[in-house]
Chain A
Amino acid sequence: MAHHLFQETANDDYNETVSQLLSLLSSRPPPFIYVHDPCTPRVATSTIVSGLRSLAHKPHTNMTFACVNCLACFNPRLLFDTALNALAGWSPTWEDGCANWGGSLDGQSQRFNENFDGFTHGLRTLWNDQLAGRLHPPPQASARGKATAEARLILVLENAEKLKETMPDLLAPLARLAELSRVDITTVFVSEVRWDHIRPSLSAAPDPYYIDMSPSSQQSIVHRLASSYPSDEPYDPEQYLDNALDPYTYHPAFRTLYTHFVTTVYNVCAVFTTDVDDLAYVAAATWPAFVRPVIDEYRRVVLERRVLERQEAEEAGEDVPDVLEEAAVDKEVEISLAPPPEEARIRLTRLFTPSITAAFEVLYPRHASVATWATANIPPANLLMLPPQQVPSLISRPSEDHSAEPSLRQLPRMAKFILIASYLASTNPARTDMRIFGRGPDERAKRRRKGGSPRKTTAKAAAVKIPQRLLGPMPFPLDRMIAILGVLLEENDADIRPAAPEHTVPGEYTEMEISRVAVFAQVAELASMHLIHRTSPADRLEMSTAYKSGIGYEAALLLAKDIGIRLNDLIWDPL
């Protein structure tokens, strides 16, 4: 369905810009063009490519183009091969070993894809072929026109910003491609970031001819979404059965209803995103539920009429066929389908607007897939018959299996203590440990004596302090975490341990517990589960190992509740 999404027919600024670009490309383009589309780069590329395709098929043009996705072509060799294959109209086949286009080099040791020089030579070979008309032999009718038309190559690079990461050395040569290869080739970069961001330093690349795509209007977004409605002629109900959808979900009769529906989806979601892909995703998930009551209603009407007819026939004493046979009913339902009346549409819209919002919340972060959402949200069959007060909740969220909650809860008790201790060690500043965890008879007095430190006077001009939980976990030495663990265990665990009369000094039992090998093994295991991260290098043995907590505030709170620790009392700056 996705390819329907970007067929462009609406007339707006966007298309005006694209058509200007195409007319430029068909006359005498500058050698380097940069198309900047911050909102919908995919739409920009597909619009340009489809425009180029129709241009290339016109008579009296001698133009070949290639569109290369820099995301897919992540090294120079792939890039060169893809471009040359596309320009030469060559597709590798299994039979000849998937060989790339080799032109005159077949059987030689030289390759066109070896480096940039090879690529330029390949382009020159292509160019000479194109001048001679050997490439894409023209149909006889337009053969004479070809002779006069200027030959031109066009190389469109999609996602051009990726070039900066994958092959920065190629940016300047690609921008100067016409000059370096000495053929009439135009390089078109399409990207969502601006040229300034990927421009090579020292003006190595010439400045491009800039083309800025304006963001799409609501009208064109809705149009784009609505044009994704499948247009199968004849309609085949079977294809939707696989997805557990009603077979008539995408019946052509509901096309206008779909347009209205998409407008509603846009209005609900546009506050948060105007991305066509996301909107289409939400629409695909919620449409089956939206249209289901309508289909059910038609089905009910047909069934009632049939039953009535049978009763009449029986009363008249005639011989009745089995009118409730499924296939016949389905056929009649399909014939009777029509757009619902205005008030039904308004009622549906009102009923389903909350569920569109809910679907967006779940689907935007991709916590559930379209199919899961659609099957979990099939409305009751008699929805349109119900009075408004009795309408049940139309939202049922699929079970959230994306959260790590259950797996955290299944951890052993000691692991939970260690995780909380590591969270505390990562969030609390080390200098506050004495104040929070210090448990001694004279601790309070000591602190008083040390009070009035000179720090108070200097801290005035500093910037606003940001709580550590917003800045991310700090690394801590293992010893510190073990010490905190000791305090936690002494206060929350000591009472339920089996009695050990041999330990007489207070805290001696805990002291022994935290020095067990099992604790350190647990730390290593948690590190392997990435619930805590080791930050010191693994090959350094002489220093104390450092770790960092890998869980967030919510997870820590959950674990603390499990083992009965009041976490907020122990955090230096609680929420």
Chain B
Amino acid sequence: MLILSQGFHAAVPEPAKEPEITSIYPIGAQLGRTYAAEIRGRGLKLARSIWFREAGLRARVLKVESIAGSNDILHAEVTVEESAPVGRRPLRVVTGNGVSNEIEVHVFPVGPGLWMEGKIEKRGGVNRYPIDVESRQTLCFEVTSGFRGFDPSITIVEKTGSWFDPERMNRVAFNDEPLYFPGLSQDARLVHRFEKAGRYWVQISAFMGQGGPDYVYNLRITPSVAAAPSLHPRLNGSWEERQFTRAMGLDWLDRVASRGGPEAAPRRVETFRAAVEGSAPIPTMTPPGIVEGRIGKPGEAHAIQFKIDKAQDLAIEIETPEATMPRFNPVVRLMEPGGTEIVTNVYTKLNNNGLYMMKMIQAKTAFSLGAPGVYTLQIRDITTDRGGEDFRYRVLVRPQIPHIGKMICSTDRLNLRPGETRTITVTLDREEEFGGVVALVAEELPPGVTAIAAMEKPVERPPLPNGGKLERYTPKPQTASLLLMASPDAVPMKMPAVVRLVARPVVKGQLGGPIRVADIPVMVLARRPL
């Protein structure tokens, strides 16, 4: 963590506002560059410093402009060191009224191509960049948005005119994003092969024609096809076990077990291959085991069997390491010896009025097999028209391991005035009937700040009447709270301290290892608003 500060203080007191930032322009830079940036937001007038959580990035506040009726503009100088990690890096602004929310600054690798920073200043705005290309040249255009509400689009046009208008710019190619799907980036990306040489223009606009000072972006044009666009959703939490794109390595069971308290023992996992249905005898696997395969052709279904000798609580987990939803939508069905489906990863419920079935494929299904026997696992795509080289799957069949799943913290920062108490709420998932106690601890509290466990009113949610077998597909959530209190004589801080929230499972009186929940910047402010 690197904290940089500069002694900048406003002369005129501002109303008490926690700082809120919305965008930074330019949105980032390549490694090894220092550039002037504008950070827009509210309550920035008392900005002291710009705070990066990770090494390799530095910034200093130059000045703050306050514009009546509009956001403040913080002018800063940002340095991206050669050693900075590439990608989206969090940035906050620290003011006399606390630490701001987090936005991202983009660290781009050094490489060939053109880089342009832009802003769609007004509604309906279109920014246009001329480019000269060679015949049969392939270019990759990428637009990275620097504002949460900005969904950029790319259009390549050429001035070939038309019979009606010799000046008309005609569309050559268009792309909004590689694929629009929840969890996927809305940044635009377009790869185009130009058949003929000449001048073209790249147009950037907002998807629905929005615009404004926060509509900032970076356009990168590279002379060859860059890495294939990631069509995987960004994994938000530090622990994800219900996403198709999580990596279930050979240590997956160890990792799961490590969240279940001292008694959860890891197991060895073997890898198996299923057979294409109808083409070969159905092979057999032994749980815990991972079935690996690929739906190579449309309509193809794979099958594999396993035998259990007694009733068991099992979990099926599915990973799609390459193509994933919505291109590859893996359906896994488990059939009992008679061929009847007894469980599937397709969670089915009825809509509110009970008229429609609603189906969602799930990356994990927990269930009980009540009788010994040979069970058949069937794996296929939900459509019958899709298949391909990248339709790879990994299906893990394993005994259930009660453990703590995903944990989400309600706040991303805490600004406390002396004598003030604020609540941090953590929602945690009890996976596979985890029944132990969870200890929640705040570590590295700054001087004068204490944490006290608190109880929240339990969430009472009656089972949905049309909810189907929800318990197979969702963990049991639980909410816990910590109260953070600044003592009346706590000393105001110039910079935030990072408080680490940690959960520890307790099973049968044994305390399990610490599991990180979140790192939260905490700052004690002056007694009175500045």
Bound together:
no
Q: Which B residues form the contact surface with A (CB < 8 A)?
A: none
Q: Which A residues form the contact surface with B (CB < 8 A)?
A: none
